[in-house]
A and B are shown apart, each in its own frame.
Chain A
Amino acid sequence: MFSEQAAPTAQGLLAPPSVEPPTFPRVPVLGYSDCSQPFQLGERSFSRQYAHIYAVRLAGMRPGLERRARSRWGSDVALRKLSELQAGEKCCVVGTLFKAMQLQPSILQEISEEHNLVPQPPLPKYIQPSDELILEDELQRIKLEGAIDVQRLVTGTILAVYGAEQDDGRFLVEDHCFADLPPPLPWNGPSSDRFVLLASGLGLGSVSGEALLSTQLLVDVVTGQLGAEGEQSCAAQITRVILAGNLLSQNTQSRDTINKAKYLTKKTQAASVEAVKMLDEILLQLCTSVPVDVMPGEFDPTNYTLPQQPLHRCMLPLASAYATLRLVTNPYQANLDGVRFLGTSGQNISDIFKYSSMDDYLEILEWTLLAGHISPTAPDTLGCYPFYKSDPFILTECPHVYFCGNAPHFQSKLLQGKEGQRVLLVTVPDFSATQTACLVNLRDLTCQPITFSGFGADSED
Chain B
Amino acid sequence: VTYKWLSYTLGVHVNQAKQMLYDYVERKRKENSGAQLHVTYLVAGNLLQNGHVCHKVAVVREDKLEAMKSKLSTIASVHVYSIQKALLKDSSPLYNTDYDIVKTNLEHCSKFSAIRCAAAVPRTPPEPRAPAATQSPQRQRDPDAAGAVNGHGPPAAKPAPQQHKGIMGMFAAKAAAKPQDTHKEAKAEAKEAPGVSAASSKPPIKNNIMNNFFGKAAMNKLKVNSVPEQPKEEKEVVKPSVAVAEPDSSPNTVAEKPGKKTEPARIQQKDKKSKTKRADRSDDEEERDPENVKKKRKRIKQLQSDSSDEEDVPPSPTPEEERAPSPPPAPALKTELEPASTEGSAGGRKRKRKRVLKSKMFIDEEEGCMGKTG
A interface vs B, CB < 8 Å?
1-4, 6-7, 9-18, 20-26, 28-29, 209-210, 212-213, 216-217, 220-221, 223-236, 281, 284-285, 287-291, 314, 317-318, 321-324, 409-410, 412, 436, 439, 448-457, 459, 461
Q: In the complex the two chains form, what is the Cα distance from A459 to B76 in whole Å?
A: 22
- Residue of B4, B55, B68, B98 near A439 (CB, 8 A) is B55
Q: Tell which of A436, A448, A461 has the most Cβ of chain B within 10 Å.
A: A461
Secondary structure class of chain A's binding surface, majority of residues = mixed
A16 touches B55 (CB 8 A): no
Instruction: Identify which of B47, B60, B110, B115 contacts A455 (C-beta below 8 A).
Output: B60
Could you say which residues of chain B place their CB within 8 Å of the CB of A17? Answer: 16, 19-20, 23
The verdict on B211 contacting chain A, using a C-beta distance below 8 Å, is yes
Contact B103 A281 (CB under 8 A): yes
Q: Is the interface of B mostly helix, strand, loop or mixed?
A: mixed
Q: Which of B75, B88, B116 contacts A24 (CB 8 A)?
A: B116
Give Cα distance in the complex from A287 to B173, angstroms.
Answer: 10
Is B74 in contact with chain A by the CB < 8 A criterion? yes
Collect the chain B residues with CB atoms within 8 Å of residue A322's CB. Answer: 120-123, 172
Q: List the 8 shortest-distance A-B pairs measured between CB atoms, nearest first.
A: A224-B115, A228-B77, A454-B91, A288-B172, A13-B79, A21-B15, A6-B76, A288-B110
Q: Which residues of A lie under 8 Å from residue B54 when comparing CB positions?
A: 410, 436, 448-451
Is the Cβ of B42 less than 8 Å from the Cβ of A461? no
Interchain CB contact under 8 A, B117 and A229: no
Contact B119 A29 (CB under 8 A): yes
- When distances are taken between beta carbons in the complex, the residues of chain A under 8 Å from B363 are none
B4 touches A3 (CB 8 A): no
Spell out B's residues near A (CB within 8 Å): 4, 7, 13-16, 18-20, 22-23, 26, 40, 42, 44-47, 49-50, 52-61, 64, 67-68, 71, 74-80, 88-92, 94-95, 98-99, 102-103, 106, 109-110, 112-123, 125, 170, 172-173, 211, 298, 370
How distant is the Cα of A228 from the Cα of B81 in the complex, in angstroms?
Answer: 11
Q: Are B110 and A289 in contact (CB under 8 A)?
A: yes
Q: Given A291-B119, A323-B121: A3 and B45 within 8 A (CB)?
A: yes
Bound Cα distance from A24 to B23, whole angstroms: 24
Min C-beta distance of B83 to chain A, whole Å? 13
A1 nearest in chain B by CB position:
B55
- Output the nearest chain A residue to B51 by Cβ-Cβ distance: A411
Interface centre among B23, B46, B49, B71 (most CB of A within 10 A): B46
Which of chain A's residues have a CB closer than 8 A to the CB of B14? 224-225
CA distance A283 to B90 in the complex (A): 25
Do B19 and A457 touch across chains, with their CB atoms under 8 A apart?
no
Instruction: Determine if A22 and B114 form an interchain contact, defined as CB atoms under 8 angstroms apart.
Output: yes
How far apart are A387's CB and chain B's nearest CB, in angstroms? Answer: 31
**Given A23-B13, A287-B120, A453-B59, residue A10 in contact with residue B77 (CB < 8 A):** yes
The distance in angstroms between the C-alpha atoms of A29 and B92, with both chains bound, is 35
Closest to B106 in A: A284
Q: Tell me the bound Cα distance from A223 to B110 in angstroms.
A: 7
Which residue of B47, B74, B75, B172 has the most chain A CB atoms within 10 A of its CB atom?
A: B172
A16 to B119, CA, bound (A): 33
